[in-house]
Amino acid sequence: MTSVPISVPGGPERCLVMGVVNVTPDSFSDGGMWFDPAAAIQHGLELVREGADIVDVGGESTRPGSARVSLEEELARVVPVIRALRAEGVTVSVDTMRAEVAAAAVEAGAQIVNDVSGGLADPEMPRVVAATGVTYVVMHWRGHSHDMYSRAVYADVVTEVREELSKRVDLVLAEGVTHEQIVLDPGLGFAKNAEHNWAVLAGIPKLTELGYPLLVGASRKRFLGRLLADPDGTPRPFSRSDDATLAVTALAAHAGAWCVRVHEVGPNADAVRVAAAWKRAGAGT
Ligand code: PMM
């Protein structure tokens, strides 16, 4: 098993696009839309046609306040979708905090394990990832969604996220994961309020100094709706925050993100190309 290529093969250096397929009834922006396996598979294939480099399949919602699903339910949601997408040649990532789900997903063809807990939720996860050799997305996380906002306390969010990610890296390396397998993610919205999220985005160059590719997941998150709130303070609904997501994608890609995780792939695939052209011109190439 080899890791997913970190840069675009044969093409100009650009940020990758990960399209989201939430096989859940309750995810924040698309809960219930792709809950049926056949609909999820079709949606994944559509995302690839729109320009996704990777399709991220998740069976457990991490929306603020959400309860956990059982292992059996999570397996039943993701494995058939992953197997079908892989059979169509899609590069698949599994969004899970459970080692058993990660192992079954890799067996079904997933080439990336996207663990929003960075190995904290299931201590077996780093060993399973090490044994399979697949790419491992280690996200910054301070606890499960039901009470994560109580942990959104920082003196200097960029420094603390960087230090906490660095500790996770040391731990997963000690469990046998290799440097080449690791991708880091600052975990926008996970134990972070809007102010923290903006600081983390502005801190992308500092986070990339850790020496690992950086994944950024801003798509349709609440802090965008809050920024675009009506004059009376009503947040913009997620269904009208895709343009703001696009702006974050362009800026994050320009700032050095390796990949953006998004719900609406087509325009974001355009945005990463704009950022790449801008960077190339700036580098005089
Ligand atoms: N966000 C969500 C789920 N999975 N994975 C990574 N690596 N990074 C993220 O920011 C992230 C994630 C929650 O968003 P959704 O419910 O809209 O999918």
Question: In this predicted model, what pLDDT tens digit does every residue of 227-284 receive, in sequence order?
Answer: 999 999 999 998 899 999 999 999 999 999 999 999 999 999 999 999 999 999 988 7
pLDDT of residue 144: 85
How many A from CA of 218 to the centre of ligand 1? 8
Whether residue 88 lies inside any domain: the answer is yes
> What average pLDDT does range 110-130 have in this prediction?
97
pLDDT of residue 10: 44
The question of whether 279 is a catalytic residue gets the answer: no
Q: Among 44-58, 61-75, 96-110, 223-237, which stretch is predicted with the lowest mean pLDDT?
A: 61-75
Indicate which residue's Cα is closest to atom 5 of ligand 1: 116
Whether residue 193 lies inside any domain: the answer is yes
Report helix angle 99-107 to 71-87, nearest 10: 20
Whether residue 6 lies inside any domain: the answer is no
Whether residue 1 lies inside any domain: the answer is no
How many A from CA of 200 to the centre of ligand 1? 15
> Of the residues 34, 60, 93, 95, which should be mutated to test ligand 1's pocket, given the most ligand atoms within 8 Å of the CB?
95
Whether residue 10 lies inside any domain: the answer is no
The question of whether 261 is a catalytic residue gets the answer: yes
pLDDT of residue 282: 87
pTM confidence score: 0.94
Indicate which residue's Cα is closest to atom 3 of ligand 1: 62
We report the CATH number of the domain holding residue 246 as: 3.20.20.20
> What average pLDDT does range 15-41 have in this prediction?
85
* pLDDT for residue 8 is more than 80: no
How many A from CA of 20 to the centre of ligand 1? 8
> Catalytic residue among 221, 222, 273, 279, which?
221
Q: pLDDT digit string (tens) for 131-151?
A: 999 999 999 999 887 776 788
Domain count across the chain:
1
